[in-house]
Structure 1
Amino acid sequence: MTHANLLTPPAQITPQTALALSQKAPPILSTSPTSPLPWPLSLLFSRETPETWTIHENLLFASLRTGDDASARQVLDRLTTRFGADNERIITLRGIYEEALAKDDKDLEKVFEGYEKVLKADPTNFGVRKRRVAVLKSLGRTADAITALTVLLENSPTDAEAWAELGELYASMGAWGQAIFCLEEVLLIMPNAWSAHAQLATLHYLSAPASLPPLTLSLRHFARSVELNDSYLRGYYGLKLISSKLIPLLSESTSVSKRNNNDDDDTPPPKLQSVKKLEELATSKLAEAIRQYSSGNKDWAGLDEAEVIAARELLDRDGKVER
């Protein structure tokens, strides 16, 4: 089970799981997957598997997240010994380690200077380029981070992660049009990414929360997110929220000119009956998730507690949580 969790991408690991995994560091580090014999004899007695170094890398992330800097250092040293200090991935991991240990902006500036030196020697190291953006964000240099991402995307236009990051930065500045464009680029690269559909839906909503065309686009993307992932709680939350706002707008006998008070005049509004059905579906799904999570059902234990609480509060406002 531990190895299964350690093979899970870091972004999908909850804080509780990260703590449990970091506690497994001592036994994992007590045994070496490599042989102390010289090459090529070391190949005959190595215990490496295709998963060995994925496990070590994810253990590094888990240890850093939980503040176990000593274990993180041991894992990093082991990875460095195996792959070499000049390996691109190792350089990036070392930077992440130094970022995690930084105590103030002065320390982050030193990490940033280190990244600059790496990129001066090797401008093609995209891992370090991305970490450079992360440091700029931490230092509050949003405009510089946007510039850095723009340059990165000029050289790697199909980098969905970079487009998503750029969209997040634009959104933090309230530049909704640019943020929406970035998430649309993400979906061109990854059309079935349900989380990207939900993020784009959120941006449309935030851009004009009382206007019919943006709400219509938001509804479409939230609906697509749960179509792609039937258990996506955030998608159902958005579907419930947006449909609840659309129903009174669609019920009003306002003129077309009043409804289409947004620049996006080509967005046809959904049918009222369809929105009501979506609202009922979202309500049912959210209520079921809340009941199952609250009852301790193990099949639902992986839900994010904060999202469950938010879903309960949303339904409580409508009085639709069954006790």
Structure 2
Amino acid sequence: MAASFLQPPTGSSPQTAIHLSQGAASFLKSQRSAFTLPWPLTLFLNTDSQEKWAIYENTLLACLRTGDFDSAHVALNAMIDRFGKTNDRVVAMAGLYQEATADDKKELEEILEGYDDILKEDPTVFSIQKRRAALLKSMGRTAEAVTAVSALLELSPTDAEAWAELSDLYFSQGLLEQSIHCLEEVLVVVPNAWNMHAKLGEVTYIAANRTEAAGEQSKLLAESMRRFCRSVELCDDYLRGYYGLKLATTQLLTSLPTQKKSQQSDLPPIASVQKLNELATAKLANILRRSSSGEKGWDGYSAAELAAVRQLLDKDTQKIQR
């Protein structure tokens, strides 16, 4: 239980979040004895550790995600007792709890006003700036959310999380060029983030399919392919990376033969693209086979991901049969 809660539940599957939430009540109950003494006397009990409070925070997140607001409230109060109401992270967690339990838009507006009041006193409270931007986004006020995240980045230009959020906001508005730029900024800060390389490959692939110029489309597809290659280079057996690599190379194999010789100098050789396509196909087939058979260590892929892979590989089979 404790080991599971050391990992944030926000990116996990719904089933995993439910499982963690179901164990929250018993975990919180087991921790009550630790508060028989006030802090800092609790240090003598050897229970006040960074891992412990990471578990409390992740407990709170899992419970909010599954609607167990009672357990979430217990976890939040424990954090308030330990760190105080004015701690930046506690204030952000309290705001998240209020957002999750708000009944209507009016209450959300009040929470937003509360964030504004905090930021008037101290504009550098990054945790509240991020919560404010997230709340604006959830309320459909995308333009204001873009402004909020941009203001945050002016104060902290190396915040990879903020750049990634700004990319998502631009993408939701169809501004692909700006979204790509933001993802490139993410990779300046965290160059080995394989998931962000794959994300950049995906947005570039979409941009390629939205352009009408054949030459520009091939260049974008080639760049998308390179990003997916870097993704799987950093993380072998990364399904999303190989899936994107398969899509990009398949489309490149169709577009490259139509390019003029003068345009092909900046594009990868067809033979190289073909080899990468075959590699992606083999890797995806291997992941699908081993995961579907329940092989140990290959159970981390979601059913939706595996279904998408199966559908993609079936298309190849159908083409060969024809």
- TM-score when scaled to structure 2? 0.92
List aligned pairs for 1:119-130, cutoff 5 A.
Answer: 119-130=119-130
Equivalent residue for 2:95?
Answer: 95
Output the CA distance in 2 between the equivalents of 1:168 and 1:241: 21
State whether structure 2 residue 152 is matched by structure 1 residue 152: yes
Output the CA distance in 2 between the equivalents of 1:147 and 1:249: 39
Q: Retained in 2: the 8 A contact 1:35–1:46?
A: no
Q: Retained in 2: the 8 A contact 1:35–1:43?
A: no
1:255 to 253, 256, 260: 260
1:183-215 CA-partner distances (Å, limit 9, x unpaired): 111111111111111111111111122610100
Bigger CA drift: 25-34 or 37-46?
37-46
List aligned pairs for 1:167-316, cutoff 5 A.
Answer: 167-209=167-209, 211-252=217-258, 254-256=259-261, 268-316=266-314
Bigger CA drift: 197-206 or 40-49?
40-49
Output the CA distance in 2 between the equivalents of 1:134 and 1:240: 33
Equivalent residue for 2:63?
Answer: 63
Equivalent residue for 1:44?
Answer: 44
Output the CA distance in 2 between the equivalents of 1:131 and 1:41: 33
1:21-60 CA-partner distances (Å, limit 9, x unpaired): 1111121111226342356654323533331111111011
Equivalent residue for 1:264?
Answer: none
Equivalent residue for 1:115?
Answer: 115
Paired residue secondary structure (1:61):
helix
Number of matched residues? 311
Q: CA deviation at 1:65?
A: 1.0
Equivalent residue for 2:29?
Answer: 30
Output the CA distance in 1 between the equivalents of 2:234 and 2:307: 23
Q: CA deviation at 1:256?
A: 4.6
Equivalent residue for 2:16?
Answer: 17
Output the CA distance in 1 between the equivalents of 2:51 and 2:165: 28
Q: Which sections of structure 1, spanning at least 5 residues, go unmatched?
A: 261-266
Equivalent residue for 1:72?
Answer: 72
1:299-322 CA-partner distances (Å, limit 9, x unpaired): 1111122111111111111128xx
Paired residue secondary structure (2:204):
helix
